[in-house]
Structure formats: structure tokens, C-alpha cells
Amino acid sequence: DHQKADWVSIHERICQLLVPIRTALPGGLSENERKHGMEQLVRRQKYVIDLASGAAQEFVLDGKHKEAIPAALHALRFSTEVYGSNSVQLVPAYLLLAEASAGAGHLPQASKYLSQAEWIVLTTPDCSVTLHCKLHRSLGLFCAAGGNFDRALYHLANEIYLASSTFGLKSIETSGGYFHMANVFFRQNKMDVANSLYAKV
């Protein structure tokens, strides 16, 4: 079952791409040939990361969270190979894994992925505002899924603050935070606040 899920999720799409990635460079190459070979390898790995991330996002958007997990794991694995285990480049894969895991009902696993993403963001001084926003949104949605509405609102408020101070109060980037915050107030039966936020969106 596990192999079949992996095949349906992503392996069928990347199987042929894995052969040149997993094949070692031949011996006796010149420095330039070896450098070119390594550049080709990294280019292929980045292509697989994009393919796997895209597939995982499609599955999540379609509500197929279990199918998204193997694809997101491939994105994380190749991101780690290309960028290293503590790189900020891993955060999108961790957030995807967290969302897919939470949607599949694996909340403890989702929490671990979110913690890993949060740790990387907190230990990266020049981390982009966009990534901070994505992290706060993911944390907010996770807290809301677990019924911790106060904590969810805290994270969503942080997302809105960061997005609005960077992109403006009426930006598209800010509207997502308002929308998710409105959903939290809606779930709390605070309809006046929810409706005003939906109107703002």
C-alpha cells in the first residue's frame, strides 16, 4: 500500500528523472567535466523539487492529503540534498508536509514538521517576510484545526501584520490572513467580526 501510494503520488512522474540523479559520475573526469556534471545534477534535483512540490500542492488543493505526503517528502529529501539540512529553502517543503499531514489526520506529525520549519525560520536572520507570513499562516491553520482558536488568531494576526507592513493593508498578500481569521471567528460564532473581515477580503 505504501509503495502504491508513493507511485500514485509522485514516483510515476519522477521515476525516469531519478536514474541520472542516482548514477555516480564516472571516474577520470577533468575538473571542468566534474564541475559540469555537478551543475547538471543540481539542476535535475531542483527540477524534481519543483515537480514534487507542485504535485503535493495539487493534491492538497484537491483535498487528497494522504496522496500529497509522498510527493512532499520527495521535495524535502531533494531540498535537503541540494541546500543542506538547516537551509531556509527547506521551509516550503516542511510547511507542505505539515498541511498534508494535518489534512490526513496526523496532527502529531504535522506539529513536528511545523516545529522544524519554525526553528529554521527563527535561526535564519535574513529570512524573507513572505516565508514568515507562510509560517504564521500554517501555524494559525494548524491551531485552528486543533480547536485552539486564540493561538490561531495570534498567528494569523502576525501574518496580517507582517504582510500589511510589507505589501500594504489592501494587498492581495494580506487578504489571505483576513480570510482565515474570518473563518476562525466564524467557528467561534462571532458573526459580526467574521462578516466584517469577509467584507474586507
Same-domain check for residues 70 and 15? yes
Residues 158-183 have a mean pLDDT of 92
* Boundary residue ending a domain (121, 155, 184): 121
Does residue 31 surpass a pLDDT of 80?
no
Total domain count for the chain? 2
Write down the pTM of the prediction: 0.81
> What's the confidence (pLDDT) of residue 18?
56
- Quick one: 25 and 117 in the same domain? yes
Query: Do residues 140 and 162 lie in contact, with contact meaning Cβ atoms separated by under 8 Å?
Result: no
User: Which domain range does residue 19 map to?
Assistant: 1-121
CATH number of the CATH domain containing 38: 1.25.40
- 140 and 89 within one domain: no
The C-alpha atoms of residue 141 and residue 136 are separated, in whole angstroms, by: 9
Same domain assignment for residues 2 and 90: yes
Dihedral angle computed from the Cα positions of residues 20, 26, 30 and 36, in that order, rounded to the nearest 10 degrees: 10
Is the same domain home to 70 and 138?
no
Domain end (from 121, 151, 166): 121
CA angle 115, 118, 122 (to 5 degrees): 140
More confident residue, 6 or 141: 141
Q: Which of 121, 145, 176 corresponds to the end of one domain?
A: 121
Q: Say if residue 161 is in the same domain as residue 109.
A: no
Cβ burial of 20 (10 Å; 0-12, 13-18, 19+) is: exposed
Assess whether 18 and 117 both reside in one domain. yes
Indicate if the pLDDT at residue 40 is higher than 80.
no
Confidence of residue 35 (pLDDT cuts 50, 70, 90): confident
Can you give the pLDDT at residue 41?
Answer: 72
**pLDDT reading at 188 higher than 70:** yes
Q: What percent of the chain has pLDDT over 70?
A: 84
Are 6 and 96 within one domain? yes
Computed over every residue of the chain, the mean pLDDT equals: 86
Lowest mean pLDDT among 17-26, 84-93, 126-135, 152-161: 17-26
Same domain, 57 and 111: yes
Q: Are 8 and 56 in contact (CB under 8 A)?
A: no
